[in-house]
């Protein structure tokens, strides 16, 4: 059944899942139809149609982009690099802060000339598209965007694309609500040796500043057997590291009515041959359980790194943010985690300038940063988001004051990160190689178990190999090393 707001061409509609089974099967049929169109095109012109992907935001979006790439490959499209012309330009968008949205509008706008010149078009997807005011703006102001879908109907992309290709009319369809989880969609992974694996979609927490629950829906956990089957298949294909993904991985399984399922999942992954490293993100301090801490201690494959956003150091601000924990709880949690896993690297997210934040509140944030001593932190200036609880709350501090606070926080954190990194100098660490460094092509780069970026000089392509690397220089953001030996 369809619940369509507007049936006219170029409509923004919200077709909705209504218990229809075998959705991936349906997608497969639509993919076949587009594939046939593309085969005809190759026979006629000798040219393969191409796409490029522009991904914004978090790892969820990166993972969604792999599904979109998988569908496009299945439909006969070939991926080209970002600087090359393409028949389809796909945007996977983010709306977590206003500056992300502004950047996306400006990127999309700047492509109108290219689209006109090359006869190409834009497909816009992801979190930003879940907001009706955005799809309205796209519809009115960006005529070169021909296909739009949201986070809840990615699997419908082949149908929407087919509809556009055969009718020439723009197709904008966004589901208002989440549907059931669809397994077995095609995936084209970014690399072979490491992979993102979704375990839970959506979020139930409604932190006052955050748009995510509105654009990604309520929590839905994948079945443990499905997650394990995916990881086994990855291992058989040469994958060595998995990162389990969820807005709040600690509540994995709650919607299935199973307690402590996340910890149990970690023990099960521990048994999978071929997987050497397990990571997960993101954890919520209110839900991180003792059984998880025990699993992190006992499972040797679980890396010594935890991303644990604290957002604000003042109890008053935490309460207004609806975070449901106190600074005392957070500090106690950190102590318990460090007792269990002494060398663990801790990273975090911090928001500066939440409405009503006073100088004293901000000092509490700095104090917490100094006490915990994070290996690194993602720091953000608060950005009001449409539809969230805090959207209309009055901002009491002037912009210059907030900027100054932000700068101070970054200085304090960078100093701590530099001090902590210096401990790596002279040590030999295990590095899983990702390939040539993005900033220095003469070097290769990879990550330690603690998540630190390591650049080092070495002969040949070592992508996917596990090495022992001796650290010769350490900075706040990356380490420089020298290869000692290959582990395999």
List interacting residues with ligand 5AD (CB under 6 A): 96-97, 209-210, 309, 311, 349, 351, 380, 382-383, 385
> Which letter does DSSP use for residue 170 in this model?
-
SS3 169: coil
Nearer to ligand 5AD, 89 or 210 (CB): 210
Answer yes or no whether residue 248 interacts with ligand SF4 by CB under 6 A.
yes
Return the structure tokens found at 237: 């294909």
Nearer to ligand 5AD, 264 or 329 (CB): 329
Q: Which does 248 bind (CB under 5 to 8 A by kind): ligand SF4, ligand 5AD, none?
A: ligand SF4
Nearer to ligand SF4, 212 or 431 (CB): 212
Which among 100-108, 187-195, 204-212, 446-454 is the span making contact with ligand SF4, rule CB under 6 A? 204-212
Among 88, 123, 199, 212, binds ligand SF4 (CB under 6 A): 212
C-alpha closest to that of 149 among 32, 4, 12, 10:
12
Subset of residues 260 to 319 that bind ligand SF4, contact rule: CB under 6 A:
284
Using an 8 Å Cβ cutoff, are 4 and 131 in contact?
A: no
Q: What's the CA gap between 242 and 302, in Å, rounded?
A: 10
Answer yes or no whether residue 215 interacts with ligand SF4 by CB under 6 A.
no
Q: Minimal distance in Å, beta carbon 58 to ligand 5AD?
A: 6
Place of tokens 């149908």: 159
Question: What residues are paired with 400 via a beta bridge?
Answer: none
Nearer to ligand 5AD, 265 or 351 (CB): 351
Nearer to ligand SF4, 65 or 212 (CB): 212
Among 207, 244, 390, 431, binds ligand SF4 (CB under 6 A): 207
Return the structure tokens found at 374: 């994070």
Answer yes or no whether residue 213 interacts with ligand SF4 by CB under 6 A.
yes
Using an 8 Å Cβ cutoff, are 368 and 330 in contact?
A: yes
Using an 8 Å Cβ cutoff, are 49 and 75 in contact?
A: no
Q: Which does 351 bind (CB under 5 to 8 A by kind): ligand SF4, ligand 5AD, none?
A: ligand 5AD
Q: What's the CA gap between 290 and 333, in Å, rounded?
A: 9
Nearer to ligand SF4, 179 or 309 (CB): 309
Using an 8 Å Cβ cutoff, are 136 and 12 in contact?
A: yes
Q: Which does 369 bind (CB under 5 to 8 A by kind): ligand SF4, ligand 5AD, none?
A: none
Question: What residues are paired with 52 via a beta bridge?
Answer: 89
Using an 8 Å Cβ cutoff, are 392 and 208 in contact?
A: no
Place of tokens 């990615």: 154
C-alpha closest to that of 468 among 485, 450, 443, 449:
485
Q: Minimal distance in Å, beta carbon 303 to ligand SF4?
A: 21
Nearer to ligand 5AD, 57 or 186 (CB): 57
Binding residues for ligand SF4, per CB under 6 A? 203, 205-207, 210, 212-213, 247-248, 284
């Amino acid at each position: 059944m369809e619940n369509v707001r507007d049936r006219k061409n170029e409509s923004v509609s919200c077709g909705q899942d209504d218990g229809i089974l075998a959705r991936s099967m349906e997608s497969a049929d639509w993919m076949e139809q587009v594939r046939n169109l593309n085969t005809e095109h190759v026979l006629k012109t000798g040219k393969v149609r191409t796409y490029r992907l522009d991904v914004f935001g978090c790892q969820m979006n990166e993972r969604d982009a792999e599904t979109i790439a998988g569908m496009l490959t299945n439909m006969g499209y070939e991926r080209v690099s970002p600087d090359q012309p393409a028949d389809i330009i796909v945007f996977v968008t983010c709306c977590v802060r206003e500056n992300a949205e502004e950047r996306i509008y400006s990127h999309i706008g700047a492509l109108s000339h290219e689209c006109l010149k090359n006869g190409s078009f834009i497909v816009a997807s992801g979190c930003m598209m879940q907001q009706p005011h955005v799809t309205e703006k796209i519809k009115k102001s960006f005529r070169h965007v021909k296909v739009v879908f949201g986070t809840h109907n990615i699997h419908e992309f082949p149908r929407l694309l087919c509809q556009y290709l055969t009718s020439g009319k723009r197709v904008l369809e966004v589901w208002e609500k989440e549907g059931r989880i669809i397994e077995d969609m095609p995936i084209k992974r970014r690399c072979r040796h490491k992979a993102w694996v979704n375990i839970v979609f959506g979020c139930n927490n409604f932190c006052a500043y955050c748009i995510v629950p509105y654009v990604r829906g309520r929590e839905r956990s994948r079945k443990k057997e499905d997650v394990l089957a995916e990881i086994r298949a990855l291992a058989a294909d040469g994958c060595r590291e998995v990162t389990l993904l969820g807005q709040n991985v600690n509540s994995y399984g709650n919607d299935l009515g199973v307690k402590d399922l996340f910890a149990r999942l970690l023990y099960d992954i521990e048994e999978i041959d071929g997987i050497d490293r397990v990571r997960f993100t993101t954890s919520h301090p209110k839900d991180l359980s003792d059984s998880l801490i025990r699993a992190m201690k006992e499972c040797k494959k679980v890396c010594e790194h935890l991303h644990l956003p604290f957002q604000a150091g003042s109890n008053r601000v935490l309460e207004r943010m609806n975070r449901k924990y106190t600074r005392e709880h957070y500090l106690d949690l950190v102590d318990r985690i460090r007792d269990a896993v002494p060398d663990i690297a801790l990273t975090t997210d911090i928001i500066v300038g939440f409405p009503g934040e006073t100088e004293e509140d901000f000092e509490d944030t700095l104090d917490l940063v100094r006490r915990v001593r994070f290996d690194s932190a993602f720091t953000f200036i608060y950005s009001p988001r449409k539809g969230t609880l805090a959207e209309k709350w009055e901002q009491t501090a002037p912009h210059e004051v907030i900027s100054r606070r932000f700068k101070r926080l970054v200085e304090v954190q960078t100093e701590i990160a530099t001090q902590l990194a210096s401990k790596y100098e002279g040590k030999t660490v295990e590095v899983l190689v990702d390939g040539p460094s993005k900033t220095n092509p003469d070097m290769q780069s990879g990550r330690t178990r603690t998540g630190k970026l390591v650049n080092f000089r070495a002969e040949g392509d070592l992508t996917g190999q596990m090495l022992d690397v001796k650290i010769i220089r350490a900075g706040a953001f990356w380490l420089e090393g020298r290869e000692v030996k290959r582990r395999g």
